[in-house]
Amino acid sequence: MSTVARRIRATPERGASDAWQVIVDLIAPKEGAARRELLDIEGIASSIISTESPKDAAMVIRGTGPRVRMYCLYDDDAISGDDANESALAGCPTDGDWVMSLPADADDVAWIKNALAKKSTHVKVREKSEAFDDGEEQSQQVASSEVAINMEAFLRP
């Protein structure tokens, strides 16, 4: 599975809400249900961005195309923008079936989970120290471990 990453300039270059808007514009550039759903959780996502959880733990979107990992830059990194990458994605990961996982501090996971349940069916929360697990990688590993090569047949002239 291929993965692309984007690094979004957050505070103090732009507020958490504005950083979320940049993220929404990248992953759901077209009007539609996905964009409305992401805009509806702006307050929750802005809260996560303001805690700096996505500094080292990615917001992960799995949908059509490659998996997308979104990080935020803060402080001097946000001001200089040297590591920023806010360029458009080749495709729209929120077309069709998609899921997004937001990283959060352990103390915040419970309230964010409850708040997201009321507003979103596609966006989930995880503790920022946990990896994003949608079960897809495990199923690919199982499939690849079951592949056997008959070397005798392969090397036969």
Predicted confidence band of residue 89 (pLDDT cuts 50, 70, 90): very high
| Count of structural domains, the chain | 1
In a domain, 136, yes or no: no
Asked whether residue 99 is assigned to any structural domain, the reply reads yes
Contacts of 106 (CB under 8 A, 6+ apart): 127, 128, 129
Q: Among residues 63, 67, 64, 27, which one has the least CA distance to residue 45?
A: 27
Taking residue 148's Cβ as centre, other Cβ atoms within 10 Å add up to: 6
Q: pTM above the 0.95 mark? A: no
Q: Please give the residue range of the domain that contains residue 65.
A: 3-130
Residue 55 has pLDDT above 50, yes or no: yes
* Secondary structure class of 104 (helix, strand, coil): strand
Q: Among 41, 67, 49, 55, which Cα is nearest to 122's?
A: 41
In a domain, 141, yes or no: no
Is 153 a domain residue? no
Question: In which band, very low, low, confident or very high, does the pLDDT at 145 lie, cut at 50, 70 and 90?
Answer: very low
In a domain, 14, yes or no: yes
Residue 135 lies in a domain: no
Asked if the structure places residue 34 within a domain, the reply is yes
Whether residue 142 is contained in a domain is answered as no
Q: Can you tell me the distance from the alpha carbon of 84 to that of 71, in angstroms, rounded to the nearest whole number?
A: 9
Beta bridge partners of 99: 62
**Would you say the C-alpha torsion 57, 48, 81, 38 has a positive or negative sign?**
positive
